[in-house]
Amino acid sequence: MKEMYQTFVEATKYPNLSEPDQKKDKPQPPIELPVKESIKLIKLPEPANIDFAGFDLRQAIEERRTHRHYKEDTLSMDELSYLLWLTQGVKNINEKRNVTLRTVPSAGCRHPFETYLSINRVEGLESGLYHYFASEHQLVPVRIDSTFNQELTEACLGQRQVATSAVTFIWVAVPYRTAWRYAERSYRYLYLDAGHVCQNLHLAAESIDCGVCAIGAYNDDAADQLLRLDPPEMFVIYMASLGRKP
């Protein structure tokens, strides 16, 4: 165990890094995954028009805890839009630098994540897997299938909070977005960035009386296969179930 940790730390120290592709003048990777023109996108409510009234930040931080039990209530589209905006919302696209400015911090403004959703109970949406097209604040249906969440639950080692959630957030890492600039050290930043995103979800959920359970225990291969990813180019890095507090 100690040897594995030390190997990783040593390999990602600055004196041991290889030259990143940015310094080799290699093209920058896209800021997000492309969406096929043939796919009909689902427009989410505009975040600026959503108002759930004020909620004290200190109260949210102090009351935040892990929730594994949820009501069978349905989330509204406003609530889902709000949660997506506060976790991966794109505030601005700097076309000159080819970067996005978002509602969460990310090393070098690289934002290496794609957000997928296992939808169970959201008004106006069928059950299944969706992808968040962040730059347009829209949803892309990926697999409309009521059995998807059961398969995800199995990939999450049978954890009941996934099976009973209104929605489970699945964050997929695209490591080259960060590695293009930071080479081997990027693998430190990926996991730091994932923590920023999930904490935003926890606090945003508190403000609408929802609970969250962050999930790091899952079968990596099963989760990647379920989302049809191709590691190491893309892989599931973190998940979080969410639902109305009991």
Quick one: 2-244 is in which CATH superfamily? NADH Oxidase (3.40.109.10)
| pLDDT the model gives residue 61 | 95
pLDDT at res. 157: 98
Task: Please give the pLDDT value at position 245.
Answer: 97
For residue 111, give the 3-state DSSP assignment. coil
| Structure confidence at residue 1 (pLDDT) | 85
| pLDDT of res. 38 | 87
Cα dihedral sign, 201-203-208-209: positive
- Cα separation, 132 vs 165, in Å, equals 18
pLDDT tens-digit series, residues 124-158: 999 999 999 999 999 999 999 999 999 999 999 99
Question: What pLDDT digit, counting tens, does each position of 51-78 carry?
Answer: 888 889 999 999 999 999 999 999 999 9
The beta strands (E) that lie in the chain are given as: 42-43, 90-94, 99-102, 113-119, 128-133, 138-144, 167-173, 210-215, 235-244
Residues of the chain with pLDDT under 70: none
Phi-psi domain of 204 (left: phi exceeds 0; alpha: psi -120 through 50; beta: other): alpha
